[in-house]
Amino acid sequence: MVILSVDYGDVRTGIAVCDKFGMLASPVKVIVERDSGALADEITEIATEKKAEKIVLGLPKNMDGSEGFRAEACRQLAELISKRINLPIDFEDERLTTVSAHNALNATNTRGKKRKAVVDAVSAVIILEDYLRKTKNQK
């Protein structure tokens, strides 16, 4: 099943997708868009282009597991997307994914503008990998 993952941010939103076997997650792009309606449109276009069968949004939880205003904004984005495309939408806890993404980029010595341009897409890959691992373990 092809799954599209979204790391939603205030300014930048990372997008990743996995292959139809759910084995390999790859970054797609970083969308720079503040308007949630326009962002939902672009995510829908990418999901259609990639023939996604599901969308997974990283859910930004607080360290204690509670949800704050960012999680609510993420849920609102999911609602906007669901009005545009008929695909199941799941959420994946994204705590510490940005830290993991920065660590991965440190390992590849990615710095400066290049890092800023890709960190959200790398975070989307990590969210998708976590989701795939979790769903495989539940079977």
Pick 84 or 62 by higher pLDDT. 84
109 CB-near residues (< 8 Å, 6+ apart): none
pLDDT digits (tens, 9 = 90+) for 11-32: 889 999 999 999 899 999 999 9
CA dihedral 17, 98, 56, 125 (to 10 degrees): 20
pTM score: 0.85
Tell me which amino acid residue 60 is: P
Mean pLDDT confidence for 28-39: 94
49 CB-near residues (< 8 Å, 6+ apart): none
Residue 112 C-beta-side C-alpha neighbours within 13 Å: 1
Residue 76 C-beta-side C-alpha neighbours within 13 Å: 11
pLDDT band at 49 (very low <50, low <70, confident <90, very high): very high
Mean pLDDT confidence for 124-137: 90
Domain boundaries, the chain: 3-138
Is the CB of residue 7 less than 8 Å from the CB of residue 120? Answer: yes
The pLDDT of residue 96: 63
The pLDDT of residue 65: 80
pLDDT above 70 (res 97): no
Q: Which CATH class is domain 3-138?
A: alpha beta
Terminal-to-terminal C-alpha distance of the chain: 15
Strands 3-7 and 54-59, by their bridges, are parallel
The pLDDT of residue 94: 83
pLDDT above 60 (res 53): yes
